[in-house]
Amino acid sequence: MRRLYKDKIDYFKISYTLFLTVTILVQDSFSLTVSMNQNPVGNLESEVDIVCSYVPQQGDIVTTILLEKKMSNGNFQQIATFYSPILNQNATIANTTFGKDLAKRAELTNPTTNNMAAGLKINTVQCGDEATYKCLVSHVAAGSTLEAGATNNLTVKGRAKSPDTVPIMNPAENIVENTDVFFTCTGDVGKPAGTFIWQKYKNNNPVGLQMSGDATTQPIDGTCIVNKTSRLKLRLTKDDDMAVVRCTVQQELVGNTFYKQTGQIRIYYEVDKPIIQRDPPSSEILAGNKVTLTCSANGHPTPTYAWYDGNNNKLKDGPTYEIKNAQVSDSGAYKCTASNTYPLNGLTFNQTSSALVNIDVLLTVVSHT
């Protein structure tokens, strides 16, 4: 009975010793460290590098390095195999759908004794390259084949493009002052998604502050295309006559390079009070001289003009009135009425100003000796 009890004690001692030995081996399996270049960014149609580096410990023998890509279904798929210098084999791209596409536009670089890093250079980045990538390094340590890995995330960016068309206006014509006009701008704002900025210009100079309209965004799956539509409401006044409204794409890869703008917008507004100019400018004119009165006013449509005397008798139509041989009887007030009519509703507006003209007689004194 004592012998049996002693054997059981020895058995447990041996088992305990073996368990500790296995635990030490498992810890050794993590001695090799693996890292990848973190958060690489590739612009569409440019190049980007995905690099897997490893640092073995004494006694580690590296054999292969596998590069995998996380697919849309959430599973990782092998895309390339690299070999350590001791195997003297060329790196290969996996015979998969993605691998076949990648083979046309990528280069593989095996690790060397001086540079323990496997590299995938994508020469022509496509939007579908954006994904999580995993690197798995197989190595032999203490007689066991082990595996250590790391991951990174490749981000692909796409340049924005110019807006699809000039901004669409509603209404597009017959705009009367103080009318709300809606502007729409659409286009691919790139990835990451840019924004549309609105600005009024007059005589090639910005007017007022930049504006942002209400926008909707629609990314196109599997591409770097992000379609955006921006809508802006503006209340246009007579000060906006002959202005343009510009829609500019603002995105980190293109800045403010791309824009489209409307043609010059015509605003119908009622005529303002006319201004009368005299030539000569003095209101005192000598008899026999010529006097020219010129009337001008702002408005759209372009105003028409009519001249009246002080008794409201019509003298003539047109912007100028001329007295060729002024006489004292021509002295008095002269009125100019400026008028314009909206074509959409036939509404007519009138504004009147007057100018006073006095004709003096030059007296000549004759001296008798």
Q: Does domain 168-268 have CATH number 2.60.40.10?
A: yes
Same-fold call for 30-157 versus 168-268: yes
**pLDDT at residue 26, as a whole number:** 34
**pLDDT at residue 361, as a whole number:** 60
Check whether 32 has a pLDDT greater than 60.
Answer: yes
Q: How far apart are CA 283 and CA 288, in angstroms?
A: 15
**pLDDT at residue 23, as a whole number:** 24
**pLDDT at residue 66, as a whole number:** 97
Q: Does domain 275-360 have CATH number 3.30.70.980?
A: no
**pLDDT at residue 283, as a whole number:** 78
217 within 8 A of 228, measured Cβ to Cβ: yes
Q: What is the mean pLDDT of residues 81-92?
A: 95
pTM: 0.76
Check whether 2 has a pLDDT greater than 70.
Answer: no
Q: Which residues is 78 bridged to in the sheet?
A: 68
Name the CATH superfamily, with its identifier, for domain 30-157: Immunoglobulins (2.60.40.10)
Q: Residue ranges per domain, the chain?
A: 30-157, 168-268, 275-360
Could you give the dihedral angle defined by the CA atoms of residues 252, 256, 258 and 259, in that order, rounded to the nearest 10 degrees?
A: 130
Centroid of chain to Cα 197: 7
**pLDDT at residue 143, as a whole number:** 84
Which one, of 274, 259, 347, 263, lies nearest residue 304 by Cα? 274
Q: How far apart are CA 87 and CA 62, in angstroms?
A: 9
pLDDT band at 3 (very low <50, low <70, confident <90, very high): very low
Cβ partners under 8 Å of residue 148, min gap 6: 29, 30, 32, 33, 34, 54, 136, 137, 139
Condensed to tens digits (0 to 9), the pLDDT of residues 190-208 reads 999 999 999 999 999 999 9
Preceding amide of 171 cis, omega within 30: yes
Q: What is the mean pLDDT of residues 110-122?
A: 96
- Strands, sheet with 92-93, edge to edge from the N-terminal-most edge strand: 41-43, 144-157, 131-141, 61-70, 76-83, 92-93
